[in-house]
Amino acid sequence: MGGALPGWRFSVAPMMDWTDRHCRAFHRTLSARARLYTEMVTTGAVLHGPRERLLGFSDLEHPVAVQLGGSDLGELAQAAKIAADFGYAEINLNVGCPSDRVQDGRFGACLMREPALVGDCVAAMKAAVSVPVTVKCRIGVDDQDPEVALDALADAVVAAGVDGMIVHARKAWLQGLSPKENRDVPPLDYGRAARLKQRLGALPVAVNGGLRDLESAQERLAEVDGVMVGRAAYTEPALLLGVDPNLFGMAAPVPDAFAAVEAFEPYIAEHLARGERLHAVTRHMLGLFNGRPGARAFRRHLSTHGMRPEANLQTLRDAVATVSREMPEARAA
């Protein structure tokens, strides 16, 4: 692992509408070492929108990185500087999102076709900040040859001084597939990310895409420096309890999911005191007890009662009380 990105061995992917500040604070309760990422924030939003709401975060979230979307060099440099001043540990450029909106704005996965521009973007951000600047990309888009496309992008950003690359090991099909389909339909090619790592040598390379548990993540770590887990970390957050002991050789911050809820209560209480709704925080916790008897009742209780204006910590405790602390015995094959 390169010295520029300590702790990059495991990270939770930036996910729109999911990895907001409450989600990240909750995930930090489960793992002290996982690197956390914001949702993608466009440069226009950073420069002209409500910055504190978009970029604000709690110190307990560290190490936390911001992901920017954009391709205007001046705007990226300004936005990176603003984010670094907020205290982010890393600035990541989105070169992987396949939505129509990012194509219209000339950022995201369509930038795979413009490696020289991406290199210029990285150089502009590197000149503006002292924290690491990284790129998250696909292996190619549409009819591109992934061997050629990914190497071209890598060469451009390496020349610009990039500190690391995160490779979503699928193509993005900008014509013919929806953003949702682009997360599953194009086949995974972990070998392409491994070949990139071999080619780049010391530069940190992490892989993303299709990693559903820590076992599959650990397999990939034999080939690359880091793994980034997305939907599995969100829908099955208890898997994060295994990150610190299995990947970093240290105890998890809390012994189990029940203790995680208790440890997270002060954070929730603080935000309730500010007038925020319980659901804004607890919507990220719905999958915490998946696999346990009572998990469905937990989700139902929080989804129903947590939406109410008067919902409070007791609402959460009542939901937890529906979950069995005994795990069912595995059935014999």
| 193 and 291, same domain (yes or no) | no
| 184 and 277, same domain (yes or no) | no
Residue where a domain terminates, one of 201, 225, 247: 247
Establish whether 182 is an annotated binding residue: no
Active site residues: 97
Instruction: Indicate the residue type of 27.
Output: H
Establish whether 165 is an annotated binding residue: no
Encode pLDDT of 19-78 as tens digits: 999 999 999 999 999 999 999 999 999 999 999 999 999 999 999 999 999 999 999 999
Q: Count Cβ atoms below 10 Å from residue 113 Cβ, excluding itself.
A: 16
| 215 and 289, same domain (yes or no) | no
Establish whether 67 is an annotated binding residue: yes
Report whether 141 contacts 103 (CB < 8 A).
no
| 90 and 202, same domain (yes or no) | yes
| Domain span at 81 | 10-247
| 242 and 263, same domain (yes or no) | no
Establish whether 208 is an annotated binding residue: yes
| 184 and 83, same domain (yes or no) | yes
Report whether 280 contacts 22 (CB < 8 A).
yes
- One DSSP character per residue, 187-199 reads PP-HHHHHHHHHH
Backbone angle region of 113, left / alpha / beta, with phi > 0 → left and psi within -120 to 50 → alpha: alpha
| 297 and 150, same domain (yes or no) | no
How many domains, the chain? 2
21-30 helix and 257-273 helix, angle to the nearest 10 degrees: 150
Residue 114 has pLDDT above 90, yes or no: yes
Residue 103 lies in a domain: yes
Report whether 67 contacts 14 (CB < 8 A).
yes
Residue 333 lies in a domain: no
pTM of the entire structure? Answer: 0.92
| 224 and 276, same domain (yes or no) | no
Task: Give the residue-averaged pLDDT of 162-191.
Answer: 81
Encode pLDDT of 118-171 as tens digits: 999 999 999 999 999 999 999 998 888 999 999 999 999 999 999 999 999 998
Residue 330 lies in a domain: no
| 109 and 201, same domain (yes or no) | yes
| 243 and 269, same domain (yes or no) | no
CATH assignment of the domain containing 290: 1.20.120.1460
Encode pLDDT of 196-229 as tens digits: 999 999 999 999 999 999 999 999 999 999 999 9
Residue 84 lies in a domain: yes
Q: What distance in Å separates the CA atoms of residue 182 and residue 16, rounded to the nearest whole number?
A: 15
Establish whether 230 is an annotated binding residue: yes
The pair of structure tokens assigned to 247 is 């990947």
The pair of structure tokens assigned to 30 is 């489960």
Residue 5 lies in a domain: no
Establish whether 226 is an annotated binding residue: no
Task: Give the residue-averaged pLDDT of 238-256.
Answer: 97
Residue where a domain terminates, one of 207, 224, 247: 247
CATH assignment of the domain containing 76: 3.20.20.70
The pair of structure tokens assigned to 302 is 């929080």
Secondary structure of residue 113 in the 3-state scheme: helix
The pair of structure tokens assigned to 11 is 């990270």
Residue 26 lies in a domain: yes
Residue where a domain terminates, one of 247, 271, 300: 247
Cα–chain-centroid distance for residue 289? 21
Secondary structure of residue 108 in the 3-state scheme: helix
Report whether 153 contacts 112 (CB < 8 A).
yes
Residue 329 lies in a domain: no
| 302 and 226, same domain (yes or no) | no
- pLDDT band for 85, please (50, 70, 90 cuts): very high
| 209 and 272, same domain (yes or no) | no
Residue 328 lies in a domain: no
Establish whether 209 is an annotated binding residue: yes
Report whether 321 contacts 295 (CB < 8 A).
no
| Beta-carbon contacts of residue 55 (< 8 Å; ≥ 6 apart) | 38, 41, 46, 66, 82, 83, 86, 88
Q: What distance in Å separates the CA atoms of residue 101 and residue 94, rounded to the nearest whole number?
A: 13
The pair of structure tokens assigned to 282 is 């607890």
